[in-house]
Amino acid sequence: MTPAGQSLKTDRIALALRVFVYVFLVVVGMMIFPRVFYWAAPVIVVVAPLSSFAVAAVANAITLRIWAHGRLADIGLQGTPASRRNLLLGFAGGAAGALLAVLAPVAVRLSWLERVPGAQFQWGPLGFITVLLLFGAVGEEMLFHGYAFQFLVGRMGAWATVLPFGLLFGLMHGNNLNQTWLGLMNTMAWGILLGYAFLRSGDLWLPIGLHFGWNWVLPLFGANLSGLTMGVTGLATRSNASAWWTGGDYGPEGGVFATLVAAGLVFYLRWAPVQRQASVLARLPENDES
């Protein structure tokens, strides 16, 4: 074998080893943390986001420490003015997209909003749900677009990594309550969209904002979020139209309006005034408008 061939083989082994260790840590974490959190608070809406955050934080921290002697901030969680700008831009896009997904069917009379009898708006539950959804968004972005994702972007290329990770993102949500085939397709599309958000910003703040904005707005209107009902404002979204349009019991994410919103958000991310930050792992330069 030539020196060049030997070097290529060594690089492939090193790449496979890093990804294997990351996946191994995630799998072990998924076996441990959900059980710990379920023991403390046996409610799925609490267990799921806290578990994903804990798993992602540990897996990223260990792999960063082993190979880069770095910190979690090194996967795109640095605190800079650009980070705050990208977080707000992401939140604005995700929140606006969720509003469209809920209110567009209302506008064309495929669904309606109503007050739940006896239910009232309460700041306490809203604050609690907000914290949980934030942990969930940060955790999932670290998990799917953290060390392994960024390392592969730098070695395999942007879209050769974004597309399979997007499909994996969708498949990992395949067991959500009341999941539908269109909901699964939409979730895969969102996985790709969130990966593209990282490419645009070079940090995790833009995809975190996008993810959190979407997840936070849906419960405000009583719409199911990935099959879960979170009554926090006293409002409920009702529909007697086909689930193909509104998502049915899965929520707006299972309907065609969410598909259209995801497509629109691609253009939003492309033209939004995102400030690119340098990414060492993904080898993305600063101020690149690609």
* HEC per residue, 50-115: HHHHHHHHHHHHHHHHHHHCCCHHHHCCCCCHHHHHHHHHHHHHHHHHHHHHHHHHHHCCCEEEEE
Contact 287, 276 (CB under 8 A): yes
CA–CA dist 35, 80 (Å, integer) = 36
Q: What's the rounded Cα separation, in Å, for the pair 275 and 290?
A: 12
User: Could you give the C-alpha distances from 266 to 100, 175, 193, in angstroms and in order?
Assistant: 15, 26, 7
Predicted pLDDT at 10:
62
Q: What's the CA gap between 74 and 280, in Å, rounded?
A: 8
Who contacts 3 (Cβ-Cβ below 8 Å, separation ≥6)? none
Write out pLDDT tens, residues 95-137: 999 999 999 999 999 999 999 888 888 888 899 999 999 999 9
Q: Determine the pLDDT at residue 31.
A: 96
Q: Collapsing DSSP states into helix, strand and coil, what is residue 284?
A: strand
| Cα–Cα distance measured from residue 143 to residue 137, given in angstroms and rounded to the nearest whole number | 10
pLDDT digits (tens, 9 = 90+) for 232-249: 898 999 998 898 999 999
pLDDT at residue number 4: 44
| pLDDT in the model for residue 240 | 87
The per-residue pLDDT for 3 is: 47
Below-50 pLDDT ranges, the chain = 3-4, 7-8, 289
Q: Which two tokens stand for residue 149?
A: 């994702």
Distance CA 101, CA 230 (A): 17
